[in-house]
Amino acid sequence: MLPSPRGAVGRQPVARQPIWTSGRKLAGHEYLYRSRSGLPAGVDSWRSEWQDLASAFVLHSVAAAGRTEGPGLTFVNITRAFVVDARPLPAPTESLVLEIVESVPGDEQVLAGLARLRALGYRLALDDYVASSDQQAMLPAVEFVKIDIRALPTLPRDVLAGARRFGAVLVAEWLETAVLVDHAVRLEFDLLQGDALGAAATC
């Protein structure tokens, strides 16, 4: 069994947000760390070791609840430490998707770590893809690429084609209005995520 994380994180709730196919069938959920009040905790601004604890807590929570066994996909954010340091992870399953957060660089250690995780049978995703050189280096290792739909006007014109070139499933994030949902469908995103389709709720 995955060991329970200890330390600064404490006993916090976990939230989940639904992820849908473009045909509006439920594909799975992303599981997210939350504050004790159930609100977003601003994990992205924490120092790295606290972010590691938050990832460990969510991983432990979903594994303990049997959510890595399906039905549907279970996306969980992980930090660099889980890629390069062989930190404890739930056993790989068809449902579990390890989502590499945007702060992880595409250095040699990370690329080797991603290859190791793939060889062990883990499914991987890139979060907040903006076609940076680091993210492009990691593209061959991942099965899913998540893109903030709001950022598209600022990204390279070929960002979607580039993200697809190794066969990745594209996930449109931050779909906050019906207009953005329709836009994502027109752009042929494979999966859809955002408050317009269901807000994150504690579980």
* Whole-number average pLDDT of the chain: 90
Q: Token digits for 13? A: 């709730």
**4: pLDDT confidence band, cut at 50, 70 and 90?**
very low
pLDDT value at residue 8: 42
Q: Is the dihedral of CA 6, 7, 12, 15 positive or negative?
A: negative
**Structural domain range at position 84:** 14-202
Could you tell me if residue 153 is inside a domain? Answer: yes
Q: How many separate domains does the chain show? A: 1
Q: Is the pLDDT of residue 41 over 70?
A: no
At residue 2, the pLDDT reads 53
Other Cβ atoms less than 10 A from the Cβ of 108: the count is: 10
CA 200 from chain centre, in angstroms, equals 14
2 lies in a domain?
A: no
Which residues lie below 8 Å from residue 131, measured CB to CB, with a gap of 6+?
A: 155, 156, 159, 162, 163
Phi (first) and psi of residue 23, to 5 degrees: -90, 10
In a domain, 25, yes or no: yes
Q: What distance in Å separates the CA atoms of residue 103 and residue 30, rounded to the nearest whole number?
A: 18
Residue located via tokens 């954010």: 77
Has residue 128 been placed in a domain? yes
pLDDT above 50 for 3: no
At residue 113 the predicted structure's pLDDT band, cuts being 50, 70 and 90, is very high
pLDDT of residue 183 exceeding 90: yes
Per-residue pLDDT for 47 more than 50?
Answer: yes
pLDDT at residue 26, as a whole number:
98
Task: Quote the DSSP letter at residue 11.
Answer: S
Tens of pLDDT, residues 194-203: 999 999 998 8
How large is the average pLDDT for residues 78-96?
93
Q: Is residue 161 part of a domain?
A: yes
**Average pLDDT in the 158-178 region?**
97
- Here the CATH number for the domain that contains residue 128 is 3.20.20.450
Instruction: Identify the pLDDT of residue 52.
Output: 84
Q: What is the pTM of this model?
A: 0.90
Residue 81 lies inside a defined structural domain of this protein = yes
